[in-house]
Structure 1
């Protein structure tokens, strides 16, 4: 069971948003807070990332920065100075697919590839508990070959769009996001890798228990049953699972069931009762109560406000 793929599938909504920026100083773009994991790749030149409450961060060619929570920020040619809002720039330039956002000026030129990977804003999976900024510095070694190649293909597709380009860019951004997570995890110091979601996936028994939950979310799991399946004691599984994942096994089971239910409410026309049964609830009332506690809104209201266009067709 590919748990990472399963989590990303459950928590992602809609397609992706991508743009190219070509700028020469002075320039500055203010990006609003977005329900997305926002990334910027500096393909040429250099620039600065400015975040509220933090010092400006210099970026150079080859660097990639990911803001997992879509925090409002500024990309600019210098660490201070005026900015224009991203939506105002795109409106003024009437940018179409493949058309770069252009800032002409006398200063050094910088090129960016920007994108957003849209999440369900109510999702609370531990995987999404990431640092506010993930920075991957340019690395000419083979360690970043997959990431570099994905960025190359994405940049080329955006520069020369053709029929089907939206599908290709959506898939490439999906792939890019996974490569960024892998590279970030590989680059962390050993002490930082001792706990957390990624450490859980490296622990054989805890990873096996997570896989069992993902493979059979509707099963009436107990901690004893999970422990027997993975070959450790109940106490050992509970202790290691809680330390690495951040919550006990059955709390994670409940969270995952409700993430799946939210996806099905968004993407299908299955009845609430059918969805409840598929994730292990024998009572629609119990499911609705748990879903409301988790999401802050009843299943029927969540569906009405979050259903994807054409959900349940076919």
Structure 2
């Protein structure tokens, strides 16, 4: 087994999910979701990037993003909007849709989740109880958040709409959707935590299936991950980011000459290996600044810099502010205790400190 570089990245950019709505629909219905950036502060506070998702638990639906052809979704299908585009969900393509107002989302931000909603003949209203079993379609809908800053090479390579058909997802994803529907309806203790983990699992599997289906001439981070040599180089950089890498050593271990690796890396990722490493180290450092009380000097050493000054120069160059200013601006996601300090370090950076 090689290194799970995708999991490394998703961990470093703080992927997190939540299920917000359990939607029952009857007859003809259509609703337009606003751009995720307009409601991000309500649904995913502190996230740089907010992505909407919809899981079809029963019946069928259509998903449409402006400028693209509508996509039919069957029971068990999943659709993710990685860039948070405004989009329409409906019972048929071309129906006039009422736009969900950001003000409504903010007004209901503290309502118990997931909120049951019923759409009857195009009119959507919150319902006090779980929707009826006789609905024509049932959707489980929510949001995923992650960091874009300082460095997230994955999101920019994803399409506007990710579709995971039930047939491609396998039986376990159907069970995930069923479990999400049950948790939404039953509201048992711990249900929010279960739904959050289910949403994250759904996204990871959707990205994995997308990776498997990439065409041979694809470019971007995922395509590079799939490439034999670039994928090996990425695994090495993620595995031991604090190592004093040179392009020569990385090329030898990846099975290419330094010039060939440079060319191949740029071909897939649009930047040389050492530039990628610098950005990856800064991403790891930014997480440590946010989640721990380590000194800037200690973090610099932990992610591969010989001095605090060198780390601070690169951090300001790539992020725009010095590490101390970033720390003041960042919102901690865990209490900065000793245990959190240990747990927050990425496996690659942590293991490299042991060497």
The interval holding the TM-score normalised by the smaller chain is: 0.7 to 0.9
1:37–1:264 distance in 2 versus 1, CA, 3 Å: same
Whole-Å separation in 2 of the counterparts to 1:93 and 1:173: 18
1:290–1:33 distance in 2 versus 1, CA, 3 Å: same
Whole-Å separation in 2 of the counterparts to 1:92 and 1:36: 18
Quick one: which of 205, 226, 247 aligns to 1:223?
247
Aligned length: 310
Q: SS in structure 2 opposite 1:147?
A: helix
Quick one: which of 16, 31, 36 aligns to 2:34?
31
Cα displacement (A) at 1:106:
8.2
Q: Structure 1-normalised TM-score? A: 0.86
Whole-Å separation in 2 of the counterparts to 1:292 and 1:76: 46
Unaligned stretches of 5+ in structure 1?
A: none
Deviation string, structure 1 residues 1-20 (Cα, Å, up to 9, x no partner)? 21111000001255534321
Quick one: which of 291, 297, 300 aligns to 1:276?
300
Whole-Å separation in 1 of the counterparts to 2:162 and 2:122: 31
Higher mean displacement: 244-253 or 17-26: 17-26
Q: SS in structure 2 opposite 1:12?
A: coil
The answer to whether the 8 Å contact 2:305/2:311 transfers is yes
* 1:84 aligned residue: 100
Whole-Å separation in 1 of the counterparts to 2:13 and 2:109: 33
* 1:18 aligned residue: 20
Q: SS in structure 2 opposite 1:66?
A: strand
1:52–1:182 distance in 2 versus 1, CA, 3 Å: same
1:1-314 correspondence runs (5 A): 1-12=3-14, 16-24=18-26, 25-34=28-37, 35-54=49-68, 56-78=70-92, 79=94, 80-85=96-101, 88=104, 91=107, 95-105=111-121, 109-128=136-155, 129-139=157-167, 144-188=170-214, 190-193=215-218, 195-314=219-338
Unaligned stretches of 5+ in structure 2?
A: 38-48, 124-134, 339-355
Whole-Å separation in 1 of the counterparts to 2:149 and 2:258: 31
Whole-Å separation in 2 of the counterparts to 1:217 and 1:97: 39
Q: SS in structure 2 opposite 1:253?
A: helix
- Please provide the CA RMSD for this pair: 2.8
Whole-Å separation in 2 of the counterparts to 1:164 and 1:313: 24
Cα displacement (A) at 1:76:
3.5
Q: SS in structure 2 opposite 1:118?
A: strand
